């Protein structure tokens, strides 16, 4: 096929991009009604263009309703140039509402999933603020380290965190605790402490968590317990000589995987 046959497609794409830039500018200036008036014609000309539903979500302005639109947009157009923008809008909305736990889970996806996002710095700034609001300083430090390792352009000095590769930190901690366990095995020192990461009615849910946490290198087990006459499947990291040793590992696991934990005394 000759090169000239591609020109109409290229020109159409170039012109449509210019067209939508104009409409996005109008939205930023607050002239949304002018854009809304043009939506039917734009849909007729560009029926498959992701920019149109994204603009409609931007102009919604009804909080929860617009978030639903952004989520639908992400599901329908996972590879669009506007997808990271939609993710960011959701994160900003959650942060503004004070939903800090949900905001941190949303915001961390942006710098990790979208390598070329224009929201790198702002997403991490809000991520750190969200973790700080919930007292999860370890998690904030972990993700700053991880994201910085992936993108050197991230400015991190204002966070006040020491930049240490989190995986190395985790492995060192695991190795140290394992060596301690092996060294004390011959002395028959009790190890009554365990880290409980979750309790599930369905075994499959417990198994999924077990498989994820097993990547830390620590032995993870599923233990059946009865609670309020219900059988639950608990996921536990075992075993530790002291409560402090268990808590150290629990904090690192929470920072890396976002999983809450409890340290329990459960002698064999």
DSSP-derived secondary structure letter, 263: E
Number of domains in the chain: 2
* pLDDT for residue 11: 34
* pLDDT for residue 7: 36
Model pTM score: 0.59
Cα separations in angstroms, 179 against 54, 174, 184, 189, 223: 54, 9, 9, 14, 25
**Checking phi first, is residue 20 left (phi over 0); if not, alpha (psi -120 to 50) or beta?**
alpha
Same domain, 147 and 195: no
Q: Using alpha carbons only, how large is the chain's radius of gyration in Å? A: 25
| Neighbour order of strands in the sheet with 262-265 | 220-227, 230-240, 193-200, 262-265
95 within a domain of the structure (yes/no)? yes
CA distance 94 to 104: 9
115 within a domain of the structure (yes/no)? yes
227 within a domain of the structure (yes/no)? yes
Look up the domain containing 85 and give its range. 18-159
Residue 238 sits in a domain whose CATH number is 3.30.70.1070
Q: How many CA atoms lie within 13 A of 108 on its CB side?
A: 22
Per-residue pLDDT of the chain (268 residues; tens, 9 = 90+): 443 343 343 333 444 556 688 888 888 888 999 999 999 999 998 888 999 999 999 998 787 888 999 999 999 999 999 999 999 999 999 999 999 989 999 999 999 999 889 999 999 999 999 988 988 888 888 889 889 988 989 999 999 877 654 444 455 555 555 555 554 444 567 889 999 998 888 898 889 888 888 877 788 999 998 888 889 999 999 889 999 989 988 888 887 777 889 999 988 7
Same domain, 22 and 153: yes
Same domain, 240 and 151: no
CA distance 145 to 162: 8
* pLDDT for residue 123: 96
59: phi then psi, degrees, rounded to nearest 5: -90, -5
**Element containing residue 238 per DSSP (H, E):** strand 230-240
Same domain, 153 and 70: yes
Same domain, 66 and 118: yes
Same domain, 117 and 52: yes
* pLDDT for residue 256: 75
* pLDDT for residue 198: 87
Cα separations in angstroms, 184 against 179, 190, 218: 9, 9, 17
* pLDDT for residue 121: 96
144 within a domain of the structure (yes/no)? yes
């Amino acid at each position: 096929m000759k090169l000239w046959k591609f020109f109409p497609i290229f020109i159409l794409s170039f012109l449509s991009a210019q067209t939508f830039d104009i409409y996005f500018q109008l939205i930023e200036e607050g002239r949304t009604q002018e854009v809304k008036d043009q939506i039917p014609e734009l849909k007729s000309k560009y029926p498959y263009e992701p920019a149109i539903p994204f603009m409609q979500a931007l102009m919604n302005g009804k909080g929860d309703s617009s978030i639903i639109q952004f989520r639908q947009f992400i599901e329908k157009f996972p590879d669009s140039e506007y997808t990271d923008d939609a993710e960011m809008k959701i994160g900003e909305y959650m942060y503004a509402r004070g939903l800090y736990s949900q905001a941190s889970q949303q915001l961390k996806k942006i710098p990790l999933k979208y390598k070329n996002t224009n929201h790198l710095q702002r997403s991490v700034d809000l991520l750190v603020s969200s973790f700080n609001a919930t007292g999860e300083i370890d998690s904030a430090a972990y993700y700053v380290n991880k994201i910085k390792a992936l993108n050197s352009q991230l400015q991190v000095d204002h966070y006040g965190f020491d930049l240490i590769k989190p995986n190395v930190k985790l492995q060192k901690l695991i190795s140290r605790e394992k060596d301690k366990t092996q060294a004390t095995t011959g002395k028959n020192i009790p190890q009554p402490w365990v880290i409980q990461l979750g309790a599930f009615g369905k075994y499959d849910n417990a198994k999924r968590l077990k498989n994820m946490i097993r990547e830390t290198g620590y032995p993870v087990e599923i233990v059946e317990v009865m609670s309020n006459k219900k059988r639950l499947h608990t996921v536990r990291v075992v075993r530790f000589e002291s409560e402090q040793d268990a808590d150290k590992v629990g904090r690192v696991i929470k920072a890396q995987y976002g999983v809450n934990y409890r340290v329990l005394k459960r002698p064999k």
